[in-house]
Amino acid sequence: MLAEYGLIQQAEYGWVRTFKPVDRTSSTTMYRAILNDFPAYRSKHQVLKCTGSRLADCFSAKADALQLLFRNEKSHERLEEVENREKPLSILELGVGTGGATKYVLEQLISHGIDFDYTLTDISSALGTWACQCFGHYKQLRFTDLAIEKTPPGEHVDSYDIIISSNCIHATKDLDTSCRNIFSLLRPNGMLCLSELTRDIF
C-alpha cells in the first residue's frame, strides 16, 4: 500500500522512503469526505471503519476484529446492508417512451461492469412492445405493467434501488399519489431520478 501511494520504493537492498510527503489530512476528515462523496458505498465504509480505526490493535492482537464487527446491533445492520448490496442493482424505469434514457443508462451500466436487473414499464402497450424489441438483447431487462397512479402490487414494494422517470409523472392525474406510490417502490436508501420540465417552453 505504501508503494502504491508512492511513499516507498523498492531498491536493490530493500525498500526505501521516497521524497513524497505524507498527506497530513486526518483520517476522520478523509472518512467524512468519503461518506459524502460516495454515498452508495456508505455501509461498506462504515464496516471498514469498525476495524480500520483499530487496525494496529487488530494486527497486534490487542483487539479482536470479529468482536469489533459484531459488537452491537448497529454493526449487524451495516453488515447486512453490505451483504445485500452484493445483489444486482435493481432499477425501474417508469415510462420508457422512445427509449432515449433507457439506451443511455443501459450502455453506462454495461460499460462500467455493473450487475443489474432493469424493469421497464409504460402505460402504452405499443411502446412496451417496441421497447422489448429494441432492447430485447439485454438479458437483464424485462417489461411489466405497472400503473403508478394505482397502489403498487406487493411484489414491487421496497424492491428497487433506483427508479428513473423522464417526462412521465406530470401526465398522471394526481401528482401526490403518484409520488407516494413511487417512493413505496424504493428500497431504504433508494434513489429517484426524476426529470421533468418546470416551466412552459412554448
Tens of pLDDT, residues 182-197: 888 888 888 888 887 7
| pTM of this structure | 0.54
CA 175/CA 169 separation, integer angstroms? 7
Could you report the per-residue pLDDT of 145-163, keeping only the tens digit for each?
Answer: 777 777 777 888 888 899 8
Residues 6+ apart with CB under 8 A from 109: 89, 116, 118
* pLDDT tens digits along 38-58: 877 788 888 888 888 888 888
Residue tagged 421533468 (cell numbers): 196
Give dist(CA 184, CA 158) in Å, integer.
6
Domains along the chain with CATH numbers: 8-84 (no CATH), 89-195 (3.40.50.150)
